[in-house]
Each structure stands twice: as structure tokens, then as C-alpha cells.
A = this chain, B = another copy of it.
């Protein structure tokens, strides 16, 4: 299996920060360097680097350094665990609501 589970907490925590979400959104358009990433944000490059570390540890982002520039890109499977967790919750309680609906319909019929 491609994705280690147990990162769900880290992923949600990473996405809880607006700057980090902005980084992920930017990277969705394609890979760019740390300084390019920093430019539109209103914080120092050092701060961006710290966010990138969080994002890497959560498995959402991958970075590679070539020469003096570190290029950041989306890790394509990074969101799947979180997506699955959400989907699982949804189906669980939708199923529950359906059962509830049936019960109400039955009791209304007789």
C-alpha cells in the first residue's frame, strides 16, 4: 500500500493553518522553488521553510534540492488518507440517518 496511515492527524493539523493551505494551493498549479513560494506570502523565507517541513512530515509535499534551489511539489497521495477518513464518517452517519428515516416511515404507515 502506498500510504502510511496514522498521518491523518498530521495532515489535518497541517491543513489547519491558512499559510500552509495557501502553499498547497500554490503547489497544485505546479512545482516551484522556496523563494517563489515565499514571494506572495507576507512572511520570511525561514518561516516558509518551517511550514514546508510540517507539510513534508505530513506527506502532503515533497521537496528536492538541486544545486542551490529546493523545488517543492505536491505529493500526489498525501490527501488520500484524510479523504478516506472524511468519506468513511459521511457514509457512516448517512447510513444511520437512512435507517432512522425508514423507521419513521414505517411507524407513520401503520
Which A residues are closer than 8 A to B by beta carbons? 8-9, 12-18, 21, 24-25, 27-30, 74, 76, 79, 82-83, 85-87, 89-90, 92-94, 96-97
Q: How many copies does the complex hold?
A: 2
**Closest B residue to A8 using CB positions:** B21
Q: How far is the CA of A94 from the CA of B80 in the complex (A)?
A: 13
Main secondary structure of the interface of A (DSSP, over half): helix
Chain B residues whose CB sits within 8 angstroms of the CB of A93 once the complex forms: 27-28, 74, 76
Cβ contacts A to B, 18 pairs, < 8 Å: A9-B16, A9-B21, A12-B13, A12-B15, A13-B13, A13-B16, A16-B16, A21-B85, A28-B96, A30-B96, A74-B89, A76-B93, A76-B94, A79-B89, A79-B90, A82-B86, A83-B90, A86-B86
